Chains A and B, each alone.
Chain A
Amino acid sequence: GAGVSQSPSNKVTEKGKDVELRCDPISGHTALYWYRQSLGQGLEFLIYFQGNSAPDKSGLPSDRFSAERTGGSVSTLTIQRTQQEDSAVYLCASSWGPQETQYFGPGTRLLVL
């Protein structure tokens, strides 16, 4: 079946602009996660959605970052007033539930000029 999909695959933006990254999880997966991967910081957790519960936002690095998940499916990660240090690959993953194997999407490569 279809895996996790993300769009866009690449995004180049100017410092100070807002960007939106989209994630379509595997159908039926109740848990959805956002991570980012950069050379300096490795793989970092950002935010986690589980069903209809309030999201775990403990990994968001600043209030410029926000995410929502509509209808328990598609999720959008928004970065406002982008900074150069936001340049990274943003990975989305989904799973049947917490503690289950997470399946990762192909990522969005973000470059802030």
Chain B
Amino acid sequence: ELKVEQNPLFLSMQEGKNYTIYCNYSTTSDRLYWYRQDPGKSLESLFVLLSNGAVKQEGRLMASLDTKARLSTLHITAAVHDLSATYFCAAPSNYGGSQGNLIFGKGTKLSVKP
């Protein structure tokens, strides 16, 4: 059964600093998703990483995937307050032949302070 673990679960950063969120998953997966959730809101798709070594960047966020290490990272560069949110990683579950549903990590609550 696939398990997805994120760390840290809580992250308080100062504006302008860099940090990395880690996402480990327990069984083979060929893709990994990152979502953002603002308080009281739904999940917004950030990145889908489709292969080993994949790297995607959007503004101050960069995500990468290492399928051999079963590890994805979300790197934050020069954080700004607008990045404050909860970030989830997720991988497709292959349990019972289902190829569709996602297994989510517990989320990393990021707070960027001036």
Chain A residues within CB distance 8 Å of chain B: 31, 33, 35, 42-43, 45, 48, 50, 56, 58-59, 91, 93, 95, 98-99, 101-107
Contacts of A50 in B (CB 8 A): 100
Contacts of A104 in B (CB 8 A): 35, 42-44
Chain B residues within CB distance 8 Å of chain A: 31, 33, 35, 41-45, 48, 88, 90, 92-93, 95-96, 98-107
B79 to chain A, nearest CB (A): 24
The answer to whether B95 touches A31 (Cβ under 8 A) is no
Q: Which residue of B lies closest to A103 (CB)?
A: B45
Extra 10 A-B pairs, beta carbons < 8 Å, given A42-B105, A102-B102: A33-B102, A43-B88, A43-B90, A45-B101, A45-B103, A98-B98, A102-B33, A102-B45, A103-B45, A106-B41
Partner of A106, one of B42, B45, B100, B107: B42
Q: 3 tightest CB-CB pairs across the interface, nearest first? A: A98-B100, A43-B104, A45-B101
Question: Given contacts A104-B43, A105-B42, is CB(A42)–CB(B92) below 8 Å?
Answer: no
Partner of A59, one of B33, B45, B101: B101
